[in-house]
A and B are shown apart, each in its own frame.
Chain A
Amino acid sequence: MKRYLSPLLFVAMAMFAIAPLLIERAPYEASMGLVQKIFYFHVPSAMVMFVSAFVCGIASVLFLFKNRPSADHLAAAAGELTVVFGLIVLVTGPMWARKAWGVWWEWDARLTSSLLLELIFMAYLLVRKYGGPGSEKLAAAMALFGMANVPFVYVSVNLWRTLHPRTTVAMTLPAGMKGPFWFCVAAFALLYIALLTIRTTLGRERAELERAYLEREEE
């Protein structure tokens, strides 16, 4: 399994090492200045978090209705990665806000719904770990609620009054900002694919090992 780790992770990490050089050359934003450069890691993490929540939700649907164990392994991996990337979003965002807005946190629609999303997936992992037999099904149902929350988080900045920049900023970036931003999105996406593959394989092989232990005991 470690063969997966080397090439994909190496490329992703190399992209992460190059990214600061591109970000440093990107122009400053007029009203926020230097602190706006947090955007280049904050937004790709949020994108990966949303995708991961969807992967977890769809895999959970397949597990609930088709009873596929492979879908459960994928859902568990995606759920874990949603929490990891969500943590990055929820820590880098307030660091940006502290300078741009003057406060670390504001209980507005975007920030509160993002926190809620993170808490749902933390609860998902806790249920899986400590819920006992059958907890996979319960956790899968929770993942559906997590996935349903994603569109609300995304459109919250357009629907409600908030200090947070709107969703249009990523699509209307000036030329100097566009290159570094999409480079970072590609780096995060590649890293996500690599980590998801490894984590899913780990889950599947752990299940196979436990089955092998049971068979051995029965012999």
Chain B
Amino acid sequence: MSLILVLVVVAATEAVLAAQPRPQPPRPSVWEQPQNEFVPVKGLPHQEQLPAASLVMGAYAFVWVVLLVYVWSLWRRVGALQRELTDLRKRTAARK
């Protein structure tokens, strides 16, 4: 009777242990061992996801840079034109 009881307890313990998820041994990196199979997961880990914030900031920064560079180039061209005009007026006045 006691032997049957021991067997039942051992069998129940085995069943409980089998039902629990076992800790997985760490996967060797592909540099240590080539992969034999691909394991699918649902959704990317957080650190692997493409951050939207950097793309949004990058896009806005690009717009600002392009517009400021264009305004600066326009400013320079206007300045150069005014210098040439002043120079021409001076030379024309000196001739007269």
Which A residues fall within an 8 A CB radius of B? 1-2, 5, 9, 16, 20, 33-35, 37-38, 41-42, 45, 84, 87-88, 91-92, 95-96, 98-99, 191, 195, 198-199, 202, 205-206, 209, 212-213, 216
Contact = CB atoms under 8 A, between A and B. Distances in A.
Interface in B43-95: 50, 52-53, 55-56, 58-60, 62-64, 66-67, 70-71, 74-75, 77-78, 81-82, 84-85, 88, 91-92
A191 B71 CA distance: 10
Contacts of B71: 9, 195
Given A1-B82, A34-B56, 5 more contacts: A16-B67, A35-B52, A88-B62, A88-B67, A209-B81
Contact of A216 (B55, B64, B84, B88): B88
B56 to A, nearest CB: 5
Contacts of B78: 1-2, 5, 198, 202
A33 B52 contact: yes
Interface of B: 50, 52-53, 55-56, 58-60, 62-64, 66-67, 70-71, 74-75, 77-78, 81-82, 84-85, 88, 91-92
Contacts of B63: 41, 45, 88, 92
Contacts, number: 78
Given A2-B78, A205-B81, A88 B66 contact: yes
For the residues of A in contact with B, the DSSP-based class is helix
A99 B50 contact: yes
Contacts of A1: 78, 81-82
| Among all A-B residue pairs, the 8 with the closest Cβ atoms | A35-B52, A34-B52, A92-B59, A95-B59, A38-B59, A95-B55, A41-B63, A99-B52
Contacts of A99: 50, 52, 55
A9 B78 CA distance: 15
B55 A16 contact: no
A30 to B, nearest CB: 14
Given A35-B56, A38-B59, A191 B67 contact: yes
Nearest to B53: A34
B81 A202 contact: yes
B92 A202 contact: no
B77 A96 contact: no
A87 to B, nearest CB: 6
B82 to A, nearest CB: 7
Contacts of B52: 33-35, 99
Contacts of B75: 5
B80 to A, nearest CB: 9
A95 to B, nearest CB: 5
A206 B85 CA distance: 9
Contacts of A9: 71
A95 B54 CA distance: 10
